[in-house]
Amino acid sequence: MTVTTCIFDAYGTLFDVTAAARLAAAEPGRENLAAIWPKLAEDWRRKQLEYTWLRAVMGRHTDFWTLTQDGLDWALEAAGLSDPDLRERLLALYRELQAYPEVPAMLADLKDRGLATAILSNGSPDMLAGAVASAGIGEFLDDTLSVESVGVFKPDARVYRLVTARFGCPPDDVLFVSSNGWDAAAASGFGFRTAWVNRAGQPMDRLPARPHHVLSDLSPIPEIARP
């Protein structure tokens, strides 16, 4: 089958989730953050994802913005930082995350080739709208799909079905791209063709399915999607 639709996870895939902590750490008066921002960013992201899985297992769904705040609160406490102003600054920066440098040109290339493009994310609609707008990539996307419409986080199959329902295509017409190995693996199991953007060079997750492609950044996506 020919790829007709390219779907992207948002956070960590199109948008740099470390940018909020990195930018805050560079601001005057943030010396306490400057020395530890990489660890704080890592802890923040890890807890944010863990809370999605735990909430899904418990059947206690809430929106991703709440979990983003909960993950940050855990990370700040673990770092010994109790600073309400810093917390608010980090959250404000998270709503305006930077896209990775190759993203605009990559998406523009896909659109020039006539492919449908969209985001499929755990993020809540308002979070995603803000990130897309601040990154200036809205013109390259046909839609932004949020798990909030089904009330459960990835990797539940109901999330991946949002794509086939929205674009009216079978799963193997879709190239799904994620920076999370478990997300790409679950999407492979659903029937999508998949690419894992493994920027950190992590080992492959031991799961029932595997990504079809493993990349170091998003630049090769247009060639992978080529008929």
Find the mean pLDDT for residues 2-11: 97
Find the mean pLDDT for residues 16-28: 97
- Catalytic status, residue 9: yes
Q: Give me the percent of the chain exceeding a pLDDT of 70.
A: 100
Q: Evaluate if residue 1 carries a pLDDT over 90.
A: no
Pairing of strands 213-215, 143-146: unpaired
Name the domain boundary from 75, 94, 113.
94
Q: Mean pLDDT across the chain, nearest whole number?
A: 97
Is the pTM higher than 0.75? The answer reads yes
Query: Which residues, including other chains, have CB under 8 Å from residue 200's CB and lie 6 or more apart?
Result: none
Same domain for 118 and 90? no
Backbone angles phi, psi at 5, to 5 degrees: -140, 125
Which CATH number covers residue 158?
A: 3.40.50.1000
Domain count, the chain: 2
Q: What's the rounded Cα separation, in Å, for the pair 98 and 7?
A: 19
Find the mean pLDDT for residues 14-41: 96
Name the domain boundary from 94, 123, 156.
94
The position carrying tokens 């006539």 is 114
Give me the domain span that covers residue 55.
Answer: 19-94
Catalytically annotated residue among 9, 16, 43, 173: 9
Same domain for 90 and 126? no
Find the mean pLDDT for residues 132-149: 97
Same domain for 208 and 141? yes
Q: Evaluate if residue 163 carries a pLDDT over 80.
A: yes
pLDDT-based confidence at residue 226 (cuts at 50, 70, 90): confident
For residue 59, give both structure tokens: 């059947």
| Predicted pLDDT at 11 | 98
Same domain for 112 and 86? no
